[in-house]
């Protein structure tokens, strides 16, 4: 059974600092997705990682995928308050491509 | 492109009534639709998978007679919560896979409150 674990589940940090969110999954997959969710809103796609070694960057966020280690990271550089949200990683199952979700990381960035 | 329009965004209903949530794919054909519910401060929980023209596949523990899913066309999937109770209050989100892009698109969500 595919399981996806995120850590930390909660992160409070100061503006300007760097930090990394980790996403581990239990079975082989060459795809992984990162999403952002603001309170009361739906999911916003951040990154689609499709192969081992994939690295994508958008603004202060950078995501990478290591399929051999079954690990993805979401790195935040010089955090700003606007990045406060809950971040989810998700991995598609082999059976019907449903996404298996991490528990989410609630990120609070203090001015 | 690849937008799923979900309505209503917010609904309050009385216990015992039914509520229908619609998800329309505006610029693509959604052969599959995933229906999720999300409780506060929790992750998404898959309720069921609908495929156009066939019966939905429900996850374990989800009552198919209570959560009726219809996917009669390639652009419309609906979730009807029948005989709603306060414990059905939740955030419901639909999502369609974008096969050619290896991605997924999400509806804007429906906040259901049963009073």
CB contact under 8 A, A43 and B34: no
At residue B2, the pLDDT reads 84
Phi, psi for A81 (deg, rounded to 5): -55, -35
Q: Choose the closest CB to B106 out of A31, A43, A96.
A: A43
Q: Choose the closest CB to A42 out of B42, B102, B107.
A: B107
Q: Choose the closest CB to B102 out of A43, A50, A104.
A: A50
At residue A97, the pLDDT reads 84
Note whether B52 and B71 are within 8 A (CB). yes
Q: What does the block give as tokens for B100?
A: 């050619």
Query: What long-range pairs does A40-43 form, CB within 8 A, spacing at least 24?
Result: A40/B111, A41/B108, A41/B109, A42/B6, A42/B93, A42/B106, A42/B107, A42/B108, A42/B109, A43/A88, A43/B44, A43/B93, A43/B95, A43/B106
**Residue A95: other Cβ atoms inside 10 A:** 8
Please tell me if residue A108 touches chain B, with a CB cutoff of 8 Å.
no
Confidence of residue A28 (pLDDT cuts 50, 70, 90): confident
Distances, alpha carbon B25 to alpha carbons A13, B29, B56, B76, in Å: 38, 6, 18, 7
CB contact under 8 A, B34 and A99: yes
Note whether B24 and B108 are within 8 A (CB). no
In whole angstroms, give the CA distance from residue B111 to residue A41: 9
Confidence of residue A30 (pLDDT cuts 50, 70, 90): confident
Q: Which residues of chain B have pLDDT under 50?
A: none
At residue A95, the pLDDT reads 76
CB-count exposure of residue B68 (10 Å: 0-12, 13-18, 19+): middle
Q: Which residue has the higher pLDDT, A90 or A1?
A: A90
Please tell me if residue B93 touches chain A, with a CB cutoff of 8 Å.
yes
What residues of chain A lie within 8 A of the CB of B32, using their CB?
A: 96-97
Note whether B58 and B47 are within 8 A (CB). yes
Q: Is it true that the peptide bond before A8 is cis, omega within 30 degrees of 0?
A: yes
What residues of chain A lie within 8 A of the CB of B97, using their CB?
A: 97
In whole angstroms, give the CA distance from residue A47 to residue B108: 18
Q: What does the block give as tokens for B107?
A: 């509806």
Please tell me if residue A31 touches chain B, with a CB cutoff of 8 Å.
yes
Please tell me if residue B102 touches chain A, with a CB cutoff of 8 Å.
yes
What residues of chain B lie within 8 A of the CB of A104, using their CB?
A: 42-43
Judge whether residue A96 has pLDDT over 80.
no
Distance from the Cα of A104 to chain B's closest Cα (Å) equals 6
CB contact under 8 A, A103 and B43: yes
């Amino acid at each position: 059974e595919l399981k996806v674990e995120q850590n930390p589940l909660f992160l409070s940090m100061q503006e300007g600092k760097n930090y990394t969110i980790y996403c581990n999954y239990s079975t082989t997959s060459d795809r992984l997705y990162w999403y952002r969710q603001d309170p009361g809103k739906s999911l916003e796609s951040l990154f689609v990682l499709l192969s081992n070694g994939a690295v994508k960057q958008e603004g202060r966020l950078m995501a990478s995928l290591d399929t051999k280690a079954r690990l993805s990271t979401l790195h935040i550089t010089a955090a700003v308050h606007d990045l406060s949200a809950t971040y989810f990683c998700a991995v598609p199952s082999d059976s019907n491509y449903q996404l298996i979700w991490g528990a989410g990381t609630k990120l609070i960035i203090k001015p | 492109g690849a937008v799923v329009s979900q309505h209503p965004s917010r609904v309050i209903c009385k216990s015992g009534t039914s509520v229908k949530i619609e998800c329309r794919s505006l610029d693509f054909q959604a052969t599959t639709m995933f229906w999720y519910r999300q409780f506060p401060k929790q992750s998404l929980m898959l309720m069921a998978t609908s495929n156009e023209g066939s019966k939905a596949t429900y996850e374990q523990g989800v009552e198919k007679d209570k959560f009726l899913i219809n996917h009669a066309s390639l652009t419309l999937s609906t979730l009807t919560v029948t005989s709603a109770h306060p414990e059905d209050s939740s955030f419901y989100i639909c999502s369609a896979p974008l096969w050619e892009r290896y991605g997924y698109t999400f509806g804007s969500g429906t906040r259901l409150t049963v009073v």
